[in-house]
Amino acid sequence: MTDEPGDTPGRIPPWWTDPTKNVESLVEAAMQRQDDLREMESAHVRELMSLRGLHYQELRQAEADRIDAIQARSDLTVQRAAEVQATQASTLAAQVTATADAFRALMGAELAPVKASIEDLRRAQYEAQGQKAQVVETRDTSRLNLGAVVGVAGVLIALISLYLYVTKK
């Protein structure tokens, strides 16, 4: 039995069979293979997208943690700076108070003689003014007294003149 044409009259040799049946099974196998490949590629892309999403989530979380750490350090720095500033302010206030008290005491001791001298000058000035006022009052009094004496003398002269005039007549 050879596969040559004409050997077996009722039988179709394998090379002479209808090609569509062979091609159909091959095409169907190839299509199934293409479908499987597309499905595997789609699953692979979904897996990559899921991994990429998880990676981006981890990156966002790491960045948020980094920013939180920076903020916490910044808050600690600000708090420490505020504590240092408060300590400096209280120290400076104590120094200012001590310096002011020392200055007052020093100026009180230094200015006491000056104040005493000023008081002495004021007292002397008031006394001088009082003496001048007394002299003025004395002058006024003596002027009044002189005026009274002149007035009395004038009245006496007038009386004597009147007496003499009346007695001569």
Instruction: Say what the pLDDT of residue 51 is.
Output: 96
For the chain, 169 residues long, the average pLDDT of each consecutive 10-residue run is 52 64 84 96 96 96 95 92 92 89 78 80 79 66 71 84 79
Indicate if the alpha-carbon torsion angle 49, 50, 52, 53 is positive or negative: positive
Would you say 16 and 2 are in contact if contact means Cβ atoms under 8 Å apart? Answer: no
Per-domain residue ranges of the chain: 18-168
Integer angstrom CA distances of residue 158 from 7, 146, 147, 163, 164:
208, 18, 16, 8, 10
Instruction: Say what the pLDDT of residue 79 is.
Output: 92
pTM for the model:
0.38
Instruction: Say what the pLDDT of residue 1 is.
Output: 44
Instruction: Say what the pLDDT of residue 100 is.
Output: 85
Instruction: Report the alpha-carbon distance of residue 99 to residue 1 in Å, rounded.
Output: 132
User: What is the phi-psi region of residue 108: left when phi exceeds 0, alpha when psi lies from -120 to 50, beta otherwise?
Assistant: alpha
DSSP label at 15? Answer: G
Instruction: Report the alpha-carbon distance of residue 89 to residue 101 in Å, rounded.
Output: 18
